[in-house]
Structure 1
Amino acid sequence: MKYSAFENFVSKSRLERYLVSCGYSQEKAMMLYGANLRVSKAFYPVLNLFEIFLRNGIDDKLGIYFSDSEWIINQKVGFMNDASLGPKFWLKTQVHKAQTDLRAKGMKGKILAEQSFGFWTCLFEPKHYKLLEGYVIHCFPNKPSAVNRNYLALTLKEIREFRNRIYHDEAICFNEMNIDFKHAKHIQNGLYDLLKWMNPDLSDFVNQFDNIEKEIEDALRI
């Protein structure tokens, strides 16, 4: 495809950073755009599996904490309804929305799976963490003693923001106008740290589907 046609479909503004970082070589800019997509694609299985493991790990721990396997539904009138979370009561609203959507589709269950990644990561934010008496930290039984709620919350926030960039087809290959995958590598390392702290076997399992290193190496050859 000619660059002019590619630019027309992708947009000039979106391609500008690629063009500048490649010394205004249109051919290299197109190659880098493709490389960015391939690195992003390589992150998909790692991010997807991490989200599943985190969600189910939290569900397991909170099921124990509340002595209730249906806590996500029943806590709409419990901690999710605490006055400190008002006036929007975001968690409760998300659960209610999932229930409404599933009923409209004639489906049952799946309330857990319907929740966004942000739903789970926000449980490590101070206001929710306090209401849960810090119990969600038990999702990471193998974490170093120096790792606290704040560290976990910041790491999860970075992962969530990076995930959103990928899911919205944003560039992950730059530092300012330079081709740089250091932040992507930082996120990858953070993901594996958290996986190991949940269970070392999870890290080994995810690694089978991880092609990130190779795609970054190929991208840096452009």
Structure 2
Amino acid sequence: MNWEDLEKHFSSARLGRYRASCDGDKEIATRAYVSNLLLAEAMMPLLNVLEIALRNGMHNRLALLYERADWWHDWIGRPVFDWQIREVNNAKAKLLRRAEVATPDKIVAELRGGSSRCRWGSWRWWCWRWRRAGCRCGAWRWCCGSC
């Protein structure tokens, strides 16, 4: 791979950082960019495993907290959880299309996590959670007031 090929496919803004960090040397910048791609590729399995472990850990803790495997049923009708309930319903629909039984574990496995759209840990949720838990430290007061 050479610098000219990279410039054909990637923005100058993206590549400019590499070139600037290499004092304008295209050859070194190309090697740096390729090394970054290889590093990102090597990290993907780790991030995938981390995402699954985090999602399953949250599921287990919420199931304990709500004393039921389908803990999201306690969230239905609460505006602060509208997005999460939509995600649960989307997961159920995916399973139905594949003719799979929608067990709580399978629903959780279908939930999107780790992306910029993941809102399972949103401030509104944490504020609501702190209030529900009877938080005495006042941390819930940081919330936006809509929860």
TM over 0.5: yes
2:77 to 69, 74, 81: 81
Alignment of 1:17-166 (within 5 A): 17-72=17-72, 75=73, 78-83=74-79, 85=80, 89-109=82-102, 110-117=106-113, 118-122=118-122, 125-130=125-130, 133=133
C-alpha deviation, 1:129, in angstroms = 2.2
Note closer, same or farther for the CA distance 1:38–1:80 as it changes in structure 2 (3 Å cut): farther
Note closer, same or farther for the CA distance 1:46–1:5 as it changes in structure 2 (3 Å cut): closer
Which is greater in Rg?
2
| C-alpha RMSD of the superposition | 2.8
CA contact (8 A) 1:81 1:92 kept: no
CA distance in 2, matches of 1:43, 1:121: 23
CA distance in 2, matches of 1:128, 1:37: 40
**1:6 maps to 2:10:** no
- Show the counterpart of 2:145: none
C-alpha deviation, 1:127, in angstroms = 3.3
CA distance in 2, matches of 1:30, 1:108: 49
Higher relative contact order (CA 8 A, sep 6+): 1
**What's the CA shift string for 1:121-179, capped at 9, x where partnerless?**
33884334236638xxxxxxxxxxxxxx89xxxxxxxxxxxxxxxxxxxxxxxxxxxxx
CA distance in 2, matches of 1:56, 1:124: 21
Note closer, same or farther for the CA distance 1:17–1:80 as it changes in structure 2 (3 Å cut): farther
**What's the CA shift string for 1:35-82, capped at 9, x where partnerless?**
21222233323322222222112211221222212224xx1xx22432
C-alpha deviation, 1:107, in angstroms = 3.0
C-alpha deviation, 1:90, in angstroms = 0.8
Identity across aligned pairs (percent)? Answer: 28
CA distance in 1, matches of 2:124, 2:51: 14
TM-score by structure 2 length? 0.71
C-alpha deviation, 1:33, in angstroms = 0.8
Gaps of 5+ in 1: 135-148, 151-222
Question: Match of 1:23, SS?
Answer: coil
TM-score by structure 1 length? 0.49
**What's the CA shift string for 1:68-126, capped at 9, x where partnerless?**
12224xx1xx224324x17xx11111111111222223333321011122244338843
Q: Where in structure 1 do 4 or more consecutive aligned residues deviate above 6 Å?
A: none
